[in-house]
Chains A and B, each alone.
Chain A
Amino acid sequence: DAGVTQSPTHLIKTRGQQVTLRCSPKSGHDTVSWYQQALGQGPQFIFQYYEEEERQRGNFPDRFSGHQFPNYSSELNVNALLLGDSALYLCASRKLGAGNQPQHFGDGTRLSIL
């Protein structure tokens, strides 16, 4: 039973470019959330997708957008990259409606902006 998988594991981009990160949720999970973790800090919530719609959003600019596909996988897109976007991007999944079932995290994509 595969857990949450993310790709790529590492990525280097330059300022102004655009990036797409991908996530496959744990089997049986239907809700995907994305988090940004800067070095030395706790993860910060970006947004959450359920039934292919953005359901909740954290304090991130519109440069950050996402998508969820019918198979529950998800993408995170970031446009006009800034140096401050360098971080570990984490994807988490859970089964909605399962009470307080916890979120399970992938190992993240390390994004470096030069």
Chain B
Amino acid sequence: TQLLEQSPQFLSIQEGENLTVYCNSSSVFSSLQWYRQEPGEGPVLLVTVVTGGEVKKLKRLTFQFGDARKDSSLHITAAQPGDTGLYLCAGGINTGTASKLTFGTGTRLQVTL
């Protein structure tokens, strides 16, 4: 059974602070995706990383895929209230017609003024 563990589960910080969310697994994935989900909505894709060691930046967000493709991190610089939401990592294994995503437990982030 593939499991993805995220830490921390909850994070409450003030505007302007930096934070890092971790996503760890004992399994290797073809790709690792990060989503943000707000109440009443579905997950919205932030980034996909596919190569071990890959680093991608999206404005104030930096995503890294571990060398062994088992873990990932999301770093947010100078957090803003608009960053508030549930952050989900999801590992994908694409073989033939299969494309199942295994989701992490989620990190709920609250950024206050």
Chain A residues within 8 Å of B, Cβ to Cβ: 4, 31, 33, 35, 40-45, 48, 50-51, 55-56, 58, 90, 92, 94, 96, 99-100, 102-108, 110
Tell yes or no: B68 within 8 A of A by CB. Answer: no
Known: A43-B43, A105-B42, A107-B41. A100 touches B48 (CB 8 A): yes
Known: A42-B106, A43-B103. A102 touches B45 (CB 8 A): yes
Contact of A102 among B48, B88, B105 (CB under 8 A): B48
Q: Which residues from chain B contact A51 at a C-beta distance below 8 Å?
A: 97
Is A90 in contact with B102, judged by CB distance below 8 angstroms? no
B94 and chain A: residue at smallest CB distance: A100
Q: Interface extent on B, as a size class?
A: 20 to 34
Tell yes or no: B40 within 8 A of A by CB. Answer: yes
Contact of B99 among A33, A42, A110 (CB under 8 A): A33
Task: Knowing that A92-B101, A105-B42, A107-B42 touch, tell me 16 more A-B residue pairs with CB under 8 angstroms.
Answer: A31-B99, A33-B101, A40-B106, A42-B90, A43-B101, A56-B99, A90-B42, A99-B94, A100-B92, A100-B94, A102-B33, A104-B45, A105-B43, A105-B45, A107-B41, A108-B42
